[in-house]
Every structure is written in structure tokens, then in C-alpha cells.
Chains A and B, each alone.
Chain A
Amino acid sequence: DGGITQSPKYLFRKEGQNVTLSCEQNLNHDAMYWYRQDPGQGLRLIYYSQIVNDFQKGDIAEGYSVSREKKESFPLTVTSAQKNPTAFYLCASSAGLAAYEQYFGPGTRLTVT
């Protein structure tokens, strides 16, 4: 079955620690994205990648970092510099950046205390 997986589903961390969220896809998609969703709000774009070894900042990139060493994988690191890291994080992929449906993973809920 093709799809996007995110792990873990729930993640708890202490303030001041970096944490890495996993995102893997086997859809052979070129483009991958990370979004953050807060209660009552839509999705906000953190980072996106059009191709391996290339990625661009989205609207709220501060305090986050990503890598794209493999086509299938686009991990997101939430650093201690992110002031409000507690949120629901969604990863997505699409065949390309323009006019293509984005497929979403199940999400990771990160809680930082």
C-alpha cells in the first residue's frame, strides 16, 4: 500500500530539548511538506521540499529545521528555539509543487512541557 507515515503519533518532550518528527512516503512523490496545526486554526506551512537536497522555508520556519537526503524521507526537527512547539504536525507529499493533490500523513501530536 502506498502512503505517508508519520511517527510517533504522540510525542512528549521537556522544554529545551530538540525533537525530530519522522515522515516517510512510498508514493514516489518529489515534493514534501510540513505543516503545523493549532486548535481552531488552519494549517500553516513550516518547510517544503521540491526535490532531494533542496528545501525552502514556509510561513513559520523559525525554530524548525529539516533535511531531505532521500526522496522518501523529510524529517522535521523542532528545536529549543521554537517558542510554542506544542501543536499537531502534519506531513504531506505531492507529485509536484504546482496543481497536484497533496497527500497527508496521520500527523504527530507534540506536547512540550
Chain B
Amino acid sequence: SQELEQSPQSLIVQEGKNLTINCTSSKTLYGLYWYKQKYGEGLIFLMMLQKGGEEKSHEKITAKLDEKKQQSSLHITASQPSHAGIYLCGAEISSGSARQLTFGSGTQLTVLP
């Protein structure tokens, strides 16, 4: 099983609707990163969360990390076609000196005009 579970795997919404993507781990997350990817391209950094209960927003996208630091959600308000793409969460799961990012399998978002 994956160390980082993302849900849903894919999402189709009508333009203007709100949506939420979740990222869950059974382990403590020492850093949680959200990225967006267009098919066949590199990843674009959206936000990083480190503290339990932390919440960050950028334009219409809000990301939260729960108090226990095991779950994060990405919420898009009033979605637009430009929000379409693959959303990936990545997290530092180990607390050792050589922290690496473990990634979820991604959520494919389609926004219908």
C-alpha cells in the first residue's frame, strides 16, 4: 500500500464549482507539499505546510494540514478550466537527516466549461 494516499483519483467538475482533494498518511508528515502538473510536463509548486493546523491560500486554492499532521486537503473555490491538471501531494515522512519526498499517486482534475 502507498504511504501517501490521495483521493479521489480523478475528479470532473463543472466550472464554478468548489472541490476538495485529500492526502492521507498513517505516519506523521514532517512537511507537506502540493504540486500541480499538466500532462507530460514538470511539476509546479503550489504550497508547503509544516505545522499542525496550518492553512495557506493562494488565489482560489487553500491547503490545510490537520493538527495531527497526517492529513492534508486542497480546496479550490469557484473552479475554472485553468485549474485543470494533475494535483500531487508530496510529503517528508521520515524524520532522519536525509529527508526525501514521498508522493501520492495524484488526482486528475477536469473542469468542464
Q: A residues touching B (Cβ–Cβ < 8 Å)? A: 4, 6, 33, 35, 40-45, 48, 50, 56, 58, 88, 90, 92, 97-99, 101-107, 109
Contacts and interface: CB of A to CB of B under 8 A. Distances in A.
A10 B42 CA distance: 13
28 contacts: A6-B42, A35-B103, A40-B105, A41-B106, A42-B4, A42-B88, A42-B105, A43-B88, A43-B103, A44-B103, A50-B98, A56-B98, A88-B40, A90-B43, A92-B43, A97-B97, A97-B98, A97-B100, A98-B92, A99-B30, A99-B99, A101-B45, A101-B48, A102-B33, A104-B42, A104-B43, A104-B45, A109-B40
Contacts of A98: 92, 97, 99
B44 to A, nearest CB: 8
Interface string B16-49: 0000000000000011010100001111110010
Contact of A101 (B33, B98, B106): B33
A42 B106 contact: yes
Contacts of B48: 99, 101
Given A42-B4, A58-B100, A99 B41 contact: no
Which of A48, A103, A104 has the most CB atoms of chain B within a 10 A radius of its CB? A104
